[in-house]
Amino acid sequence: MIKLTDNISFIGKIDWERRTFHGEQMSTNEGSSFNAYFIKDEKNVVIDGVYKPFADEYIADIEENIGIENIDYIIALHAEPDHSSALLNLLELRPDIPIYCTAKGVESLKGYYHKEWNFKVIKTGDTLKLGNGTLTFIECPFLHWPDQMIVYYDIDKIIFSSDIFGQHYSTAFLYDNKVDKSRLEYEALKYYANIVSPFSSLVIKKLDEISKFNLDIKLIAPSHGVIWTNSEYILGKYTEWANTYAEEQVILVYDSMYGSTRRMAEYIAEGISEAKPNLCVKIFSLATADESDVVTEAFRSKAVLVGSPTYNGGLLTSVAGFLEELKGIKTKNKKAAAFGSYGWAAVSVKIINERLKAANFEVFEDANFNTTCNWRPNNDKANLLRNFGIAFANAL
């Protein structure tokens, strides 16, 4: 247990070793943490559990520093197993503890653990008096699960924000102002792009709703990563990211079997840079780049160009998977284009264009520029692709 304030302690677990999340779906190259908190008021409150592999350590920490018998309430902000699975161990020892959660939280917790615990369903605006301080609950459905909620504790002016405002970032420093700023900002952005972005329209509404509570917010304590002392920074960033967000950047993302599609990416990139020298242009091979990082780069870009050779009448699976990710994160107002080599059937560009449109991208196509390439680009094709890059950049 690590004391944060006179009333609040950290009872979570920093996972230095974690390199993936949601199974193998998302990379967590900086590790992560499963943040759980303890409030000591006249009532003793445990906020969230940790992931199952750390359940024994979580229980031992509570036994040593709090006493299982002394817990009055559990607050389950979110039922996803990375936060709830160790609660199973806690509740095996004390099944009577009241669990405050949303109605959807009850459904999800029962769905996972098949137990009839002492659930206390909360709604937005409900309060729970702890003695000196009071908890105020705000439901946050689909940020990022239907069960999600946040809770405000007035004594320390702190929001326990569940996954919202989180970062997969392991550090011995528990606060934003103690860690490498650029690393933290990137991890917060990566978290938003990969996990929260599909729900951006709800983020805008929820931030507006939270602001109407007129809470005096000094700290924001998410369930992954560091606690924000600079709450204005992360609230401002979420407002930016949830609206139409784009930096002065374009990325080209491809996979290639023998280098033809790679060369196409490079020629197009040359044209883009020639037309817009101050535009940041990055090229990623899905064979070697970290896909979650590429998704993050796509999220922050004005445009994404995607390339694949035609392979077995379709796309390379790395590119098909990336396009599925792009569709899932539901970006807005971004341009896109497709390119790719082929041997005997030029299919990939057509498929990529269809999938980019399905992913809500505005696809740039121009009959003057054939962005397929039979076998390997020659000088004429190289020039055409450069000119395509210029035309694409000028259309941004």
Active-site residue numbers? 22, 78, 80, 82, 144, 163, 191, 224
Which region, judged by CB under 6 A, interacts with ligand FEO, from 74-82, 108-116, 287-295, 314-322? 74-82
18 binds ligand FEO (CB under 6 A): no
224 binds ligand FEO (CB under 6 A): yes
231 binds ligand FEO (CB under 6 A): no
223 binds ligand FEO (CB under 6 A): yes
From the list 41, 45, 35, 44, the residue with the least C-alpha distance to 10 is 35
Minimum CB separation from ligand FEO for residue 51, in Å? Answer: 9
Minimum CB separation from ligand FEO for residue 119, in Å? Answer: 19
Q: Measured from the CB atom, is 83 or 386 closer to ligand FEO?
A: 83
* 66, 7 contact by CB (below 8 A): no
Minimum CB separation from ligand FEO for residue 195, in Å? Answer: 7
Which region, judged by CB under 6 A, interacts with ligand FEO, from 53-61, 78-86, 114-122, 295-303? 78-86
- Parallel, antiparallel, or unpaired for β 134-139 and 149-153? antiparallel
Tokens read off for 141 = 């459905």
Residue 85 DSSP one-character state: H
Which region, judged by CB under 6 A, interacts with ligand FEO, from 75-83, 117-125, 286-294, 307-315? 75-83
83 binds ligand FEO (CB under 6 A): yes
Minimum CB separation from ligand FEO for residue 189, in Å? Answer: 17
Strand order in the sheet with 2-3: 2-3, 8-10, 37-40, 44-47, 73-75, 99-101, 119-121
Side chain identity, residue 127: T
Residues 348-377 that bind ligand FEO (CB under 6 A): none
197 binds ligand FEO (CB under 6 A): no
Q: How far is CA 121 from CA 74, 76, 92, 129, in A?
A: 12, 10, 20, 15
From the list 98, 161, 101, 155, the residue with the least C-alpha distance to 131 is 155
Q: Measured from the CB atom, is 78 or 190 closer to ligand FEO?
A: 78
Minimum CB separation from ligand FEO for residue 222, in Å? Answer: 9
What string marks each residue from 136 to 155 as x (binds ligand FEO by CB under 6 A) or -?
--------xx----------
Which region, judged by CB under 6 A, interacts with ligand FEO, from 79-87, 99-107, 124-132, 246-254? 79-87
Verify cis geometry, omega within 30 degrees of 0, for the bond prior to 83.
no
Residue nearest to ligand FEO (CB): 80
- Count of chain residues binding ligand FEO (CB under 6 A): 9
For 115-124, which contacts have Cβ atoms below 8 Å and span 24 or more sequence positions?
115/88, 115/91, 117/91, 122/149, 124/209
190 binds ligand FEO (CB under 6 A): no
From the list 65, 87, 64, the residue with the least C-alpha distance to 77 is 87
Helix (H) / strand (E) containing 44: strand 44-47
Q: Measured from the CB atom, is 82 or 291 closer to ligand FEO?
A: 82
80 binds ligand FEO (CB under 6 A): yes
Q: Which of 30, 82, 255, 325 binds ligand FEO (CB under 6 A)?
A: 82
> Crossing angle for the helix pair 81-93 and 103-113, nearest 10 degrees?
70
Minimum CB separation from ligand FEO for residue 6, in Å? Answer: 27
From the list 114, 172, 115, 166, the residue with the least C-alpha distance to 145 is 166
Residues 272-301 that bind ligand FEO (CB under 6 A): none
**How far is Cα 20 from Cα 293, in angstroms, rounded to an integer?**
12
- The residues of the shown chain that bind ligand FEO, judged by CB under 6 A, are 78, 80, 82-83, 144-145, 163, 223-224
